[in-house]
Amino acid sequence: MGATIRAIISFLIFVLLHYTLRPLLGWRAPMDFLLIALLLASVRVRPGTAAVIGFVVGLVSDSLAPDALGAGALGMTVVGFSASYLKAVFFADNLMLNAFFFFAGKWMFDIIYFGLEQRMHGVELAQQLVLWSPLSAAVTATVGVLLLFLMRPLLEPTPA
């Protein structure tokens, strides 16, 4: 099976988990499987393509919250592009770096998303961005690393 197909399957699994496991758990600081999927896809493609993937994924997920339409798309676009660009710059590949990517990517996405959404203001927004977003980012990073470990056979590049 080609690396592209395996990457697509992994991407779909993460999307599926986002709409099944996440609402099933119903945590106050939830993990973001869509962001993990985007980051895993972004490091395999060029920054421009990652931006497009991020835009599409963000726009589709925003459709469930029409008031925030565009906010998630912009956040995902920026995060996808940044992940792909940074991956190209550093060429690093280890679990800790991936965890950092997940954490930073999620936090960045939340900052852009809640900033553009304009649903929260003042203390509430600060509490969300300083408390709940880092918590959610940490959970996302933990779950992302765990899933990377579990899905290593599916995500590893094909040996030459």
Partner 1 sequence: MARAVRSNNRIDLFLLVACGLLALLARVVPVSMREPVATGLRRTFMSPMVMLQEWAETSRHAMVLVESKTAKRDSVALSAMNAASVDSENDRLRKLIGLGARLRWGFVPAEALHSRGVRDETTVILSAGARAGVARFSPVIAPEGLVGVVDAVDPTMSHAMLWTHPDFRVSAMSADAAAFGIAQAHLTSATGGYLIEVRGVPFRANLKPGALIVSSGLGGVWPRGIPVGTVIQEIKTTEGWARTYLLRPAVFPADVYNVMILRLERVAKEFDGVWPSVAAADAAAQRIVVAGDSALKEAALAEAAARRAVMDSVNAESFARPATDSTGAVITPAPPVRRAPRPVVQDSGPPLIRVRDTTRRDTIRRDTSRIDSISGRPRGLR
- The binding site for partner 1 (CB under 8 A) comprises 15-16, 19-26, 46-49, 51-52, 54-55, 58-60, 62-64, 66-67, 69-71, 73-74, 77-78, 81, 85, 116
Q: CB of 147: closest distance to partner 1 in angstroms?
A: 18
Q: CB of 8: closest distance to partner 1 in angstroms?
A: 15
Q: CB of 97: closest distance to partner 1 in angstroms?
A: 22
Q: Which is nearer to partner 1, 53 or 147 (CB)?
A: 53
Q: Which is nearer to partner 1, 59 or 111 (CB)?
A: 59
Q: Which is nearer to partner 1, 112 or 145 (CB)?
A: 112
Q: Which is nearer to partner 1, 52 or 104 (CB)?
A: 52
Q: CB of 81: closest distance to partner 1 in angstroms?
A: 5
Residues 6+ apart with CB under 8 A from 37: 10, 11, 14, 15, 18, 57
